[in-house]
Chains A and B, each alone.
Chain A
């Protein structure tokens, strides 16, 4: 009954293409994280310190990003905006959706991080004559960074994995590339097995790098 014969050769022949697509995946995930960190930090600070419409906007962003499927967010930036006449390249659609999603999650991480720093740290810094800016950049942010560091790593892994949804809007990242190659040869299982290994290795590299960096950064 089990008469499927594995054929790995076509997959291995196209391995360079898969690895190149893996780099595209990593690239879009890293860019989304950078945008997500900057925007997420902004959203967190808005939700902590501002009132009115700008705060409602930030709250709506965080709520939508965290409480709706990532796939729907991707479709919004692809087909939703497309229906409104705004057409972006598959790369831009995935980057936008992923950044939107990461910013929402990271905003909550940052907000929790800021709330974990006792207000007395601010008082101590200000009592020494530091300005509000110096207090934030030299005392608060470095402590928040440590608190959010591991959640940040998790988010990076998450960004790599959900970028695979990109294939549904025609983006040739690792999953999209795999899908395209597999449908040409019908070696679907073999292709996705190899691709799964590539994802696994990418994630392991991220986790390892993160651990090495943490050991250097946080000595206290």
Chain B
């Protein structure tokens, strides 16, 4: 379970998160929607401490992420993350990309790490690409590689930061399908997304961000069917 309380984040004098309260129970798929610059991605970075916070707290499975003595590297193993810019490691083959962290972070043997990597690559449909370098993959394949790389650490939560925003339109589907598959398998997921159909069809709840606050959070049916806040209504009508 992820528990966020009173979270505030500043970039210099600009406040991007203005007191976020949010609980994400295990097994839930939460989509976060909202305009660019509303703080959606920043929230994800605060959950796994890639960004420091100025006030409030993030607690994952009872552990305070931003507390001083927290072993953040151990905690991050629970929190898989997939980025907008897929960030594959260009100097490593597909298999090495996925096998590296299990080996050097979890201390598994080389053989076991490669086995895990092979399994995760099969899982995301890259079973025939073990020995190629990322430069030979399409954007969609690189993003699935990034998902496999995160899954190889056997995380309990997956954070998706606009995982399809940088992809060519015809490649979006394969990545969304992979995310759907994970959701069906029961993974707890927080997905910052501009894919409204994904948010509507796959999520248990949808949160609407507006200027650093969660303005509305509810089931997809309520958010898309009968939006209450004026900003959300405007946001949705702009998208359609």
Which of A's residues lie within 8 Å of B, judged by CB?
A: 118, 120-121, 123-131, 134, 138-139, 142-143, 146, 219-220
In the complex the two chains form, is B91's CB within 8 Å of A130's CB? no
28 pairs, CB–CB < 8 Å, chain A vs chain B: A118-B85, A120-B83, A120-B87, A121-B87, A123-B83, A124-B81, A124-B89, A124-B146, A125-B89, A126-B50, A127-B81, A127-B150, A128-B76, A128-B101, A128-B105, A129-B73, A129-B77, A129-B106, A134-B104, A138-B100, A138-B104, A143-B90, A146-B91, A220-B90, A220-B91, A220-B133, A220-B134, A220-B135
Q: Which residues of B contact A143 (CB under 8 A)?
A: 90-91
User: Could you say which of B85, B89, B133, B149 contacts A219, with CB atoms under 8 Å apart?
Assistant: B133
| Residue B14 at the chain A interface, CB threshold 8 Å | no
Top 4 A-B residue pairs of the complex, sorted by shortest distance between their CB atoms = A124-B87, A220-B133, A128-B101, A127-B81
With A120-B85, A138-B104, A219-B133 as given contacts, are A127 and B91 in contact (CB-CB < 8 Å)? no
Q: Which residues of B contact A219 (CB under 8 A)?
A: 133
Q: State which residues 47-77 of B face A: CB under 8 Å.
A: 48, 50, 73-74, 76-77
In the complex the two chains form, is B89's CB within 8 Å of A139's CB? yes
* Complex CA–CA separation, A125 to B134 (angstroms): 16
User: Could you say which of B50, B77, B101, B135 contacts A123, with CB atoms under 8 Å apart?
Assistant: B50
Q: Most chain-A CB neighbours within 10 Å: which of B80, B91, B106?
A: B91
| Residue B43 at the chain A interface, CB threshold 8 Å | no
Closest A-chain residue to B77, C-beta based?
A129
A193 CB, nearest partner CB in chain B, Å: 45
Proximity bits, B99-131, A CB within 8 Å = 1, else 0:
011001110000000000000000000000000
| Residue B153 at the chain A interface, CB threshold 8 Å | yes
Q: Which residues of B contact A134 (CB under 8 A)?
A: 104-105
B45 CB, nearest partner CB in chain A, Å: 8
Closest B-chain residue to A220, C-beta based?
B133
In the complex the two chains form, is A130's CB within 8 Å of B133's CB? no
Closest B-chain residue to A127, C-beta based?
B81
Q: Which residues of B contact A142 (CB under 8 A)?
A: 91
User: Could you say which of B74, B87, B134, B146 contacts A129, with CB atoms under 8 Å apart?
Assistant: B74
Q: Which residues of B contact A139 (CB under 8 A)?
A: 89
| Residue B175 at the chain A interface, CB threshold 8 Å | no
B161 CB, nearest partner CB in chain A, Å: 10
A121-B87, A134-B105 given; name 13 further pairs at CB < 8 Å.
Answer: A118-B85, A120-B85, A121-B89, A123-B83, A124-B89, A126-B76, A127-B48, A127-B50, A127-B81, A128-B76, A129-B106, A130-B105, A134-B104
* Complex CA–CA separation, A121 to B92 (angstroms): 13
A163 CB, nearest partner CB in chain B, Å: 33
* Complex CA–CA separation, A131 to B48 (angstroms): 14
Q: Which residues of A contact B91 (CB under 8 A)?
A: 142-143, 146, 220
User: Could you say which of B83, B104, B106 contacts A124, with CB atoms under 8 Å apart?
Assistant: B83
A198 CB, nearest partner CB in chain B, Å: 37
In the complex the two chains form, is A129's CB within 8 Å of B153's CB? yes
| Residue B163 at the chain A interface, CB threshold 8 Å | no
* Complex CA–CA separation, A209 to B113 (angstroms): 34
With A120-B83, A123-B50, A219-B133 as given contacts, are A128 and B150 in contact (CB-CB < 8 Å)? yes
Q: Which residues of A contact B87 (CB under 8 A)?
A: 118, 120-121, 123-124
Q: Which residues of A contact B135 (CB under 8 A)?
A: 220
| Residue B33 at the chain A interface, CB threshold 8 Å | no
Q: Which residues of A contact B104 (CB under 8 A)?
A: 130, 134, 138
